[in-house]
Amino acid sequence: MMGKTINETFLQKTVQQMTNKRHNFGAILSVEQGDGDLKWVGAAGNLQADDQYFIASVTKLYVTAVVLMLRGEGRLQLDEPISTYLPEEVISGLHVLDGIDYSEKITIQHLISNTSGIPDYFAYKQDDGTTVADLLFKGEDKSWPLEKVLTLTKEMKPTFKPGQKGKVNYSDTNYQLLGRIIENITNMSINEVFKRYIFDELGLTKTYVYDDVNDQKPAALHYKSRTIRLPHYMSSISAEGGIVSTAQETMQFLRAFSSGYFFPEEQLEELKQWQLIFFPGAFYYGIGLEKLWMPRIYSPFKPINEIIGFWGQTGAFAFYNVERDLFFTGTVNQSSGFGHSAAVKAMIRIIRAVS
């Protein structure tokens, strides 16, 4: 059911506009209202509404759900040091700043809130000025399992002390470590954990962790004007960003995440310990949760308020506007970071129409 303002034509035009941004060759948009009055999914460009795609760092929201479920089972606490669950060879030299080793001070909460100070192996500049991201987007497809990530990370200077007041730094390394912690606690691979705790629970049939380099089901990635294929990389980063899904199945997860299905609903408020991050992009980071940075100019007369969820490097998104009980999932399938704004505009356009 849709109102006079929000109808099929309006929504199809909205998803079409997501492809007007340069290098956004395709877009998928799913939007639902909590009460069921609005439920729609559509696509434009070179994507179809039911296509499977890499959700990239939206995967981290699934990690948050798993961590909170494990806490609910009494198998971990957020304030525990990660050394409780990781061997000495992982912890040793992980965080040495100005000659002082803080590795034993890092907690699970520091990892999941990006307040550990551990450098981001993916985007941190190496001695030659390049980044892992630069090489990948040039087409140098290589695996980056935790052991390789740690070898590089331990050569880098941490950005601040663990938990230093007012400090936050987005780091994929944190989530590689969280993945290993989850594996050590459960005695299962992270792929098995996601399947048992989330995919099977929700009856998701098109959602899985990418682990076969010959798998070509997910939509091909784009970086600016180029099509890129990174099967070795994507199959090595399960906890960091390895889930493949559809907009509709991501919607199922997002609604479950927001409604208390995986953990008591009041715990969602606990995650909202926001700190502003300016790279990559501008957004607030809490405990395993992101909030869009919304300048008042976007809606000067009626504040949009919280839009919470997660971005993916691939242009994937899963967000919930609490004020209007609106859920958004989909992708613009553009890995440069410059296509994300089209998804923001689509969400705002719909929020305004509902207001």
Q: Confirm if 316 and 338 have CB atoms less than 8 A apart.
A: no
At residue 252, the pLDDT reads: 98
Domains belonging to the chain, first-starting first, are 8-59+211-354 (3.40.710.10), 62-186 (3.40.710.10)
At residue 281, the pLDDT reads: 80
At residue 1, the pLDDT reads: 45
Dist. CA 195–CA 190, nearest whole Å? 9
Q: How much of the chain is helix, strand and coil, in % rounded to 5?
A: 35, 15, 45
Q: Which segments of the chain have a pLDDT < 70?
A: 1-4, 296-301
Cβ neighbours, 10 Å, residue 4: 7
* 184 CB-near residues (< 8 Å, 6+ apart): 85, 86
Render pLDDT for 145-183 as a digit per residue (tens, 0 to 9): 999 999 999 999 999 999 999 999 999 999 999 999 999
Stretch (H or E) spanning 243: strand 243-245
3-state secondary structure 263-318: CCCCHHHHCCCCEEECCCCCEEECCCCEEECCCHHHCCCCCCCCEEEEECCCCEEE
* 246 CB-near residues (< 8 Å, 6+ apart): 28, 50, 51, 52, 53, 206, 207
